[in-house]
């Protein structure tokens, strides 16, 4: 390579870096502002959370609306949940505040990837309604049963892509609720799928598992079994039937298996394949 050609290539590289730098710095600045706001939210530095949450929501909406925001990792926002689908089409941000030990509020945004680095943004609006007994309940981004999403799994059937979200609601001081629900993206809009979980002859819009806050359970997609696996819950004593604050895992596992666009409930699956 001649010296002049080497210099020419080096100049092109420098110009390329310079062209990208303003956009990258914009994301860095936005991330730093949001990191500081979430640090304040969870350290109790602010006497009133209301104005601080309004600021956070505004900053999030502005930052996540920037072209290229879906390609930025936002790694410094380590106090909130950020999950991205395997096909990079759907990304979800969620966080919460504790008003007291029996009351929690949830907040979030969903991004849907468009073309040329653009994305469409949707805010999740917590309806504040109790989750118990809502296995058959319509849900939208504007009327959302609040929770923290911690895992997303992607499946395809025919020409449809299904995004299965696993989440947790702290509920109250006595019980916790974990959930499994499914979304699709239609005309660049996220939509919660109804009647997508087969529980025997019955179809649910989502799976809800409520259990004692004194124990922990696992609800996750397991690639080894290609299923969503979760602890089987039972009451501590028969007298506590349907009193879910007294439900514990019994050491066995159940699961959901995806088939033809539906998650099918499987009872007592082989526990040897599960951590």
pLDDT single digits (tens) 134-188:
999 999 999 999 999 999 999 999 999 999 999 999 999 999 999 999 999 999 9
Statement to judge: residues 142 and 22 lie in one domain: no
Whether residues 37 and 128 share a domain: the answer is no
Domain that holds residue 43: 1-77
Based on the domain organization, do 246 and 137 belong to the same domain? yes
pLDDT band at 15 (very low <50, low <70, confident <90, very high): very low
Predicted confidence (pLDDT) at residue 44 exceeds the cutoff of 80: no
Task: For residue 2, name the pLDDT band (cuts at 50, 70, 90).
Answer: low
User: pLDDT: is 44 or 152 the higher one?
Assistant: 152
Shared-domain flag, residues 179 and 127: yes
Distance of CA 95 to the CA centre of its chain: 10
Helix, strand, or coil (residue 104): strand
Q: Tally the domains of the chain.
A: 2
- Do 64 and 108 share a domain, yes or no? no
Does residue 31 share a domain with residue 115?
Answer: no
Q: What angle do CA 81, 107, 116 make, to 5 degrees?
A: 70
Burial class (CB in 10 A: 0-12, 13-18, 19+), 213: middle
Shared domain for 93 and 140, answered yes or no, is yes
Same domain, residue pair 65 and 183: no
The pLDDT score that the predictor gives to residue 116 is 87
In the predicted structure, residue 264 carries a pLDDT above the cut 90 = yes
**Where does a domain end: 77, 107, 132?**
77
User: What is the percentage of the chain residues whose pLDDT exceeds 90?
Assistant: 85
Q: For all residues of the chain together, what is the average pLDDT?
A: 91
pLDDT at 190: 98
Whether residue 64 is found in the same domain as residue 193: no
- Per-residue model confidence as pLDDT tens digits over 179-235: 999 999 999 999 999 999 999 899 999 999 999 999 999 999 999 999 999 999 999
Phi, psi angles (nearest 5°) of residue 71: -95, -10
Among 35, 56, 77, the domain boundary falls at: 77
Q: Residue 136 has which token pair?
A: 């058959």
The answer to whether residues 177 and 229 belong to one domain is yes
pLDDT > 70: percent of the chain: 89
User: How would residue 18 be classed by pLDDT, with cut points 50, 70 and 90?
Assistant: very low
Look at strands 262-266 and 197-199 and give their pairing: parallel
Residue whose token pair is 């991330």: 31
Domain co-membership, 144 together with 247: yes
pLDDT in tens, 71-99: 999 999 999 999 999 999 999 999 999 99
Specify whether 175 is located in the same domain as 52: no
């Amino acid at each position: 390579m001649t010296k002049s050609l080497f210099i020419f290539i080096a100049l092109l590289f420098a110009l390329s870096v310079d062209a990208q730098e303003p956009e990258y710095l914009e994301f860095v600045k936005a991330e730093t502002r949001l990191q500081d706001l979430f640090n304040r939210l969870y350290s109790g530095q602010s006497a009133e959370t209301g104005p601080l949450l309004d600021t956070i929501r505004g900053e999030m909406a502005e930052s996540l609306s920037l072209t290229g925001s879906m390609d930025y990792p936002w790694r410094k926002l380590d106090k909130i949940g950020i999950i991205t689908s395997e096909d990079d089409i759907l990304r979800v941000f969620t966080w919460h505040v504790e008003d007291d030990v029996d009351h929690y509020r949830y907040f979030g945004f969903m991004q849907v990837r468009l073309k040329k680095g653009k994305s469409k943004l949707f805010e999740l609006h917590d309806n504040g309604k109790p989750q118990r007994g809502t296995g058959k309940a319509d849900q939208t981004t504007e009327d959302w049963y609040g929770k923290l999403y911690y895992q997303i799994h992607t499946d395809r059937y025919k020409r449809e892509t299904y995004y299965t979200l696993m989440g947790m609601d702290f509920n109250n001081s006595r019980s916790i609720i974990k959930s499994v629900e499914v979304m699709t993206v239609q005309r660049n809009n996220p939509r919660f799928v109804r009647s997508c979980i087969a529980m025997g002859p019955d179809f649910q819009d989502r799976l809800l598992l409520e259990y004692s806050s004194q124990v922990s359970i696992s609800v996750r997609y397991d690639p080894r079994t290609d299923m969503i696996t979760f602890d089987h819950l039972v009451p501590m004593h028969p007298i506590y039937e349907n009193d879910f604050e007294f439900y514990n895992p019994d050491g066995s596992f159940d699961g959901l298996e995806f088939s033809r666009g539906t998650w099918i409930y499987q009872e007592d699956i082989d526990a040897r394949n599960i951590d």
